[in-house]
Every structure is written in C-alpha cells, then in structure tokens.
C-alpha cells in the first residue's frame, strides 16, 4: 500500500474503505434486488455458467448478511477479507478485484434475467444458432410453433414487431435454402408487414423524444429521418389507401399515423380526437405497455394545451386518467405508481375543482405509491386539498408532517407555507417563510422560467402582505401588474387576495 493510502487509512480508518464501497456500483445494484433476486443471484454465482470463484461467492455471502440496507457501521471490508483468507495480510487491491468481479457477475445476472423474460429474443437466438449449425430439420421443428404465434398474435407493442420481423427474416432465409419458395412468399408478406408496423410505431417514438428535447433544450434536427425522409413521405396518402380496413394491423397503422400527426403538429386537434377514439377501443389489439405509451402521448398533448387558456384539455386529461386508473395501466412494467402520474392527476383535479374526487383518489390509490414516498406525498396532497377547502389549520397540520420531500416539490412546499400563513394571519411565520424562500431560490436547481415564476410569486405575495400591514402600496396597480404577468406561480390565488384588499 502506498504512503498516501497508509496515511489516509490511519486518519480515517475503516470508514474510508466503507465509503468508497457504499457509493460503488455494486452496492447500488444490490440495493435494487428484491429478496427473491438476491437469493437467486447467490444461486447464479454458484452455477458453473457464471464462472465465479469461491472467494467471490464468499465475499457476496458476507455482504448479503447486511441486505437490504447495507448499513455503514456493519460493513468492514478488512473483516470480510480475513474471513475469506484467514491468516493473510489485508490487501485492498484484492478486495477491489473481488468487488469488480461481483459487479460483472451482477450485470451478467441482470442480462440473464432480461433474456429469460424476453421470449421473442430467446426464439430469435435459438433459430439463429440452429441455422448457423445447419440443423435444418431441427430448425423446422422449432420454427413452426414460433411462426404460428406470429401469425395469430394480433396484440401489438411498439417493440415486439422488430423481433417478429427478425424471426420472419430468419425463417424466410431458411426456406430459400430449402427451396420452399411458396412458403417464402407467405413469410415475406408477414415480414414486410411487421417491418412496416415497427417502423411507423418507432418513428412516433423518435419524434416524441425530439418533441421533448425541443421543449426543454436548443435541440437541432440533424438526422436523415427527420430532415429528409419524413418531410417527403406521403403518409396521408398511404393511410387513405387503407380506407375502412378494420383489421388489427390497419387500426394499429392508423393509430401510429395519428400519433405522428400530434407530434409534428400541436394544433392537430382532429388527430388527437381520432387517436383518443382508437386508444379507448384498443384493448383487443394493443398490449398494456403500448396502451400506457399512447396514454403518455395523449397526456403530453393535453399538457401542451393546458398552458393556454381554456379547460378542454384539462377535462380531456382528467377523463383519460380515469381509464388509466380503471385498467391499472399505471402499473404497466412496474409495481408502483410513478410519483409524476399521481401528481398530474391531482393537479388536474385542482384545475377542475374536483376536490372531493381528488380526496377519494388519494384514499384509493396512494397505496400504489412506492413506500419511501407514500406518506410524504399523501401529507403534501392532503395539505393542498385542505387548503382548497379553506381548512387552513388542517393544511398546516399536514404540512408539518412533511419531513422529506422530493427536490422538485420543495419549491411548491415553501409556496404553500406562505399561502397558509397568509390565510391564518401568522405574520411572524410569514416573514420567516419569505426570508427562507428567498435564500432557497438563490441556488434552487430548476429551469430559469420556473425560478422566475417563483420569484414573482414571492415578490407579489410580499407586496400583498406589506399592503395589508402598512397600506403602503397602490393595490389596484399591484393587481393590474399580477394580472398581466405571464410568469408567476399561484396567479389565481394572488389575484383573489388582491381583490379582497380592494374591497
């Protein structure tokens, strides 16, 4: 061990070793493993396929004793080393090597789990191996049920068509070699349809990413798909040629066409209506994963228009969310409801003044939130609901229960404290909240426009209090300024308080 490392160990002791490990990829990975996986991972390490050395397995077993939290004061790398190597002198380089091997094993295990759950990828991999080994009869035997499934499957996902295309291509190549040309014709038709379905679906996905990038960043289109191919594609003519075809494939293509339209033209309200209609009746030809993805696209279109005046798309999002909840699409590919889904539904309830419905929503669906954010988000939401019911003492009670909050909600929490203190007439607490908020905004990690809206809220609410306490400003001028400001949080509340001071 080098002189500098020796000095560091003398100064900081074993905690230095732990801290370098606590923040390692290994601990990050193992913390995500549920109990079933942590036990299966141990069996995986013992399998000859993993090739793990005995000392790596022993090291993992010692770590596993601290699962699931892996607390700082319970992990001592030197003690683990001595348990494995008995009377040998401790070598940090050896431990680092073991940790590196365990990280590689954990990554291998996750890849294996993903492969095991991906039947189309398994099928494609098997057929590729059989064909490369020229096991033609075996290939025929295994490809027959796979091809049957592809023909009969009429529930589409935005990614599965790629595997169906690749598998069909592999079977078509096999039939060419066997000179089964009649079968090749059928396979080529299936293959081409799947390629088209995959292309149209994932063109929409690519455009969705571009749409998000253009909203938040100075994204410049610099790819042939967006710059050259799509502008010259007669997509309208292609869809018109399908006509009234009601097959699952035709409905899927029309769905993708309308997705394309709302992503390339945010004023395409007709496409939104058609897409919504197809989506509502899509349970027979879309997987839940695809239905959730389309909901997200419809929801994003609503959010874009919710920034403008009018409540049409607020109501649209609210009604779409009811279907999302009814069919439990929010649990697609996850075991919990995402915090953003929960928040967007509650925010739209507030905009429509559906306060009682919102309270029932919190009661019935908060159980689906991740355990580490559940109580925090329930208290935060109930504070907001109580505030809107003008039960300000109860709102303050719920706010006081919020101990830890996701960073993007901290700003809203501080704004809510200001509103509650104002309504309760708690002047001393209010001025303290102003000062705390002012300091917070100096280094708050948000986009400039969001910070500006918060600063304007702070400025206007401070002016309201000063007028209320000292009558030192012209409230009519202040109200006019608030009314004309397009970048301010809680604008309606500020105007309501200004009106009260005008009376």
Q: Are 55 and 128 in the same domain? A: no
**How confident is the model over 363-403, as pLDDT tens digits?**
999 999 999 899 999 999 999 999 999 999 999 999 999 98
Q: Residue 366: inside a domain, yes or no? A: no
Portion of the chain with pLDDT greater than 70, in percent:
93
Q: Are 112 and 129 in the same domain? A: no
Q: Are 37 and 67 in the same domain? A: yes
For the chain, how are helix, strand and coil distributed in percent, rounded to 5?
75, 0, 20
**How confident is the model over 201-215, as pLDDT tens digits?**
988 888 878 877 776
pLDDT of residue 213: 76
466 pLDDT more than 80: yes
Do 275 and 262 contact (CB within 8 A), yes or no?
Answer: yes
pLDDT of residue 208: 78
Q: Residue 349: inside a domain, yes or no? A: no
Q: Are 75 and 37 in the same domain? A: yes
Q: Provide the CB-side half-sphere exposure for 409 (13 A, CA).
A: 20
If you search the block for the tokens 């929490």, which residue do you land on?
413
> Which residue, of 117, 134, 167, is where some domain finishes?
117
Q: Residue 328: inside a domain, yes or no? A: no
228 DSSP 8-state letter: I
**How confident is the model over 97-134, as pLDDT tens digits?**
999 999 999 999 999 999 999 999 999 999 999 999 99
The set of residues, in sequence order, having a beta carbon less than 8 Å from that of 220 and lying 6+ positions away, is none
166 pLDDT more than 80: yes
Q: Are 124 and 111 in the same domain? A: no
Q: Are 90 and 158 in the same domain? A: no
Write out the residue range of the structural domain in which residue 178 sits. Answer: 119-204
pLDDT of residue 368: 97
Q: Residue 261: inside a domain, yes or no? A: no
Structural domains in the chain (count): 3
Q: Provide the CB-side half-sphere exposure for 259 (13 A, CA).
A: 28
Q: Residue 436: inside a domain, yes or no? A: yes
Q: Residue 215: inside a domain, yes or no? A: no
448 pLDDT more than 70: yes
Q: pLDDT confidence of 231, banded at 50, 70, 90?
A: confident
Do 146 and 139 contact (CB within 8 A), yes or no?
Answer: no
pLDDT of residue 7: 38
What mean pLDDT comes out for the span 169-178? 93
> Which residue, of 143, 177, 204, is where some domain finishes?
204
> Which residue, of 117, 148, 179, is where some domain finishes?
117
Q: pLDDT confidence of 5, banded at 50, 70, 90?
A: very low
pLDDT of residue 348: 95
**How confident is the model over 406-431, as pLDDT tens digits?**
777 889 999 999 999 999 999 999 99
Structure pTM?
0.79
Q: Name the average pLDDT for the chain.
A: 89
**How confident is the model over 316-367, as pLDDT tens digits?**
999 999 999 999 999 998 999 999 999 999 999 999 999 999 999 999 999 9
Q: Are 415 and 493 in the same domain? A: yes
Q: Are 142 and 78 in the same domain? A: no
Distance CA(83)–CA(173), nearest Å, equals 56
Q: Residue 310: inside a domain, yes or no? A: no
Q: Are 90 and 147 in the same domain? A: no
277 pLDDT more than 90: yes
Give Dmax over CA atoms of the chain in angstroms: 94
**How confident is the model over 85-97, as pLDDT tens digits?**
988 898 989 999 9
What mean pLDDT comes out for the span 159-174? 92
Q: pLDDT confidence of 197, banded at 50, 70, 90?
A: very high
pLDDT of residue 473: 60
Q: Are 14 and 108 in the same domain? A: yes
Who has greater pLDDT, 357 or 7?
357
**How confident is the model over 10-38, as pLDDT tens digits?**
433 444 344 446 557 899 899 999 999 99
Q: Are 416 and 459 in the same domain? A: yes
Q: Residue 460: inside a domain, yes or no? A: yes
**Dihedral angle computed from the Cα positions of residues 64, 69, 74 and 78, in that order, rounded to the nearest 10 degrees:** 50
Structure tokens at 32: 């995500």
Q: Are 195 and 97 in the same domain? A: no
Portion of the chain with pLDDT greater than 90, in percent:
69
């Amino acid at each position: 061990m080098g002189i500098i490392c020796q000095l560091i160990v003398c100064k900081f002791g074993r905690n230095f070793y732990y801290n370098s490990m606590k923040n390692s990829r290994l601990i990050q990975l193992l913390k995500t493993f549920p109990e079933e996986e942590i036990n299966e991972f141990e069996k995986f390490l013992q399998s000859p396929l993993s090739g793990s050395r005995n000392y790596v397995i022993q090291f993992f077993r010692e770590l596993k004793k601290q699962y699931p939290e892996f607390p700082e004061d319970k992990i001592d790398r030197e003690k683990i080393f001595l348990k494995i190597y008995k009377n040998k002198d401790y070598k940090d380089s050896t431990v680092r090597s073991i940790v590196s091997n365990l990280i590689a094993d954990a990554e291998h295990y996750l890849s294996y789990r993903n492969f095991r759950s991906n039947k189309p990828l398994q099928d494609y991999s098997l057929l590729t191996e059989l064909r490369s080994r020229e096991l033609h009869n075996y290939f025929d035997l295994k490809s027959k049920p796979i091809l049957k499934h592809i023909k009969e499957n009429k529930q589409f996902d935005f990614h599965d068509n790629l595997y169906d295309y690749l598998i069909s291509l592999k079977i078509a190549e096999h039939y060419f070699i066997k000179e089964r040309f009649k079968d090749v014709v059928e396979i080529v038709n299936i293959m081409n349809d799947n390629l088209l379905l995959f292309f149209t679906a994932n063109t929409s996905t690519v455009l969705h990413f571009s749409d998000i990038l253009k909203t938040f960043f100075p994204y410049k289109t610099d790819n042939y798909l967006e710059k050259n191919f799509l502008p010259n594609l007669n997509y309208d003519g292609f869809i018109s040629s399908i006509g009234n075809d009601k097959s699952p494939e035709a409905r899927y293509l029309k769905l993708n066409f309308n997705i394309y339209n709302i992503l390339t033209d945010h004023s395409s309200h007709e496409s939104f209506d058609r897409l919504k209609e197809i989506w509502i009746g899509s349970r027979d030809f879309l997987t839940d994963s695809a239905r959730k993805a389309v909901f997200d696209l419809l929801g994003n279109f609503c959010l874009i228009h919710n920034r403008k005046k009018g409540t049409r798309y607020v109501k649209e999002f609210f009604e779409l969310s009811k279907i999302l909840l009814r069919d439990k699409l929010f649990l697609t590919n996850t075991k919990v409801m995402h915090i953003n889904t929960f928040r967007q539904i509650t925010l739209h309830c507030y905009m429509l003044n559906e306060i009682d419905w919102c309270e029932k929503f919190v009661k019935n669906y908060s159980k689906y939130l991740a355990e580490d954010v559940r109580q925090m988000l329930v208290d935060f939401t109930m504070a907001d609901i109580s505030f809107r019911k003008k039960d300000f003492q109860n709102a303050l009670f719920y706010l006081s229960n919020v101990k830890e909050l996701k960073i993007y909600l901290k700003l809203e929490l501080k704004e809510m404290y200001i509103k509650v203190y104002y309504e309760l007439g708690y002047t001393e607490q209010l001025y303290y909240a102003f000062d705390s908020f002012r300091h917070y905004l100096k280094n708050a990690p948000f986009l400039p426009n969001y910070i500006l809206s918060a600063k304007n809220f702070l400025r206007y609410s401070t002016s309201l209090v000063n007028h209320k306490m000292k009558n030192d400003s012209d409230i009519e001028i202040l109200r006019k300024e608030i009314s004309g400001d397009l970048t301010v949080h809680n604008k309606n509340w500020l105007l309501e308080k200004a009106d009260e001071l005008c009376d």
